[in-house]
Amino acid sequence: DIVLTQSPGILSLSPGEKATLSCRASQTVRDGSLAWYQQKPAQAPRLLIFGASNRATGIPDRFSGSGSGTDFTLTLSRVEPEDFAVYYCQQYAASPYTFGQGTKLEIK
Amino acid sequence: QVHLVESGGGVVQPGRSLRLSCAASGFSFTIYALHWVRQAPGKGLEWVAVISHDGTITDYADSVKGRFTISRDNSKNTVFLQMNSLKNEDTAVYFCATDGWSFRQTFPEYWGQGTLVTVSS
């Protein structure tokens, strides 16, 4: 199975700052088959990025994804108050389609 | 507008069975794969299963393989998760989700609000 390790576990920032979230895979994620999700308390996850760098429908351009192989990054250019949440990466290159353990973005 | 509504959750004893349903609307159900993903209380997301658009391909997480069965009824725009031999560690909110690409099994895109399954004696 492909294990995804996200870092940091918790990221404390103030609104307006830049956020950089990392997702590292235990083996190559072929074809950039990696997605990012945002989840707020008591809500379903929301797709942000697919194919490592493609924004999903309706996602603001302050969210961007990059990376390939085993190292992927989700960047928020300027954190807005509504962005404080937990973020998960997921690989869909090979079954089982594993998720990372999540990064909590909290208000500093 | 894509709409997914899960149902069938509840409290069940270890070793018993439960069947979850997910009713879909607002999109072309018959051309998209469907996923089940779960989340134990206070924990992260765990992918559970996927079924292809026509039901001919299914795949499961190792933790549920041989106990859970995913199926779909394209005439009723509904996907199911039959859960047998339930364990305490199956306690979670179960989400269904559409796939992001037609005719393929890739990433979950649109999600329902989930249904809670509690396995406890």
Which residue, among B22, B18, B25, has the nearest Cα to B7 in the 3D structure? B22
Considering CB atoms only, which of B47, B50, B95 is closest to A44?
B95
Is residue A72 within 8 angstroms of chain B, CB to CB? Answer: no
| C-alpha to C-alpha distance for A32 and A25, rounded to whole angstroms | 11
> ω before A15 within 30° of 0 (cis)?
no
pLDDT tens digits, one per residue of A8-60: 999 999 999 999 999 999 999 999 999 999 999 999 999 999 999 999 999 99
Chain CA centroid to CA A65, Å: 8
**Are the Cβ atoms of B106 and A47 closer than 8 angstroms?**
no
Mean model confidence pLDDT for chain B: 97
> Which one of B44, B95, B107 has the shortest CB-CB distance to A35?
B107
Q: Which two tokens stand for residue A91?
A: 């690989």
Return the closest-CA partner of residue A90 out of B17, B100, B90, B86: B100
Residue B73 confidence class, pLDDT cut points 50, 70, 90 = very high
In angstroms, the CA B116 to CA B51 distance is 21
Average pLDDT over residues B38-55: 97
User: Which residues touch A38 (CB under 8 Å, ≥6 apart)?
Assistant: A45, A46, A48, A83, A85, A86, A87
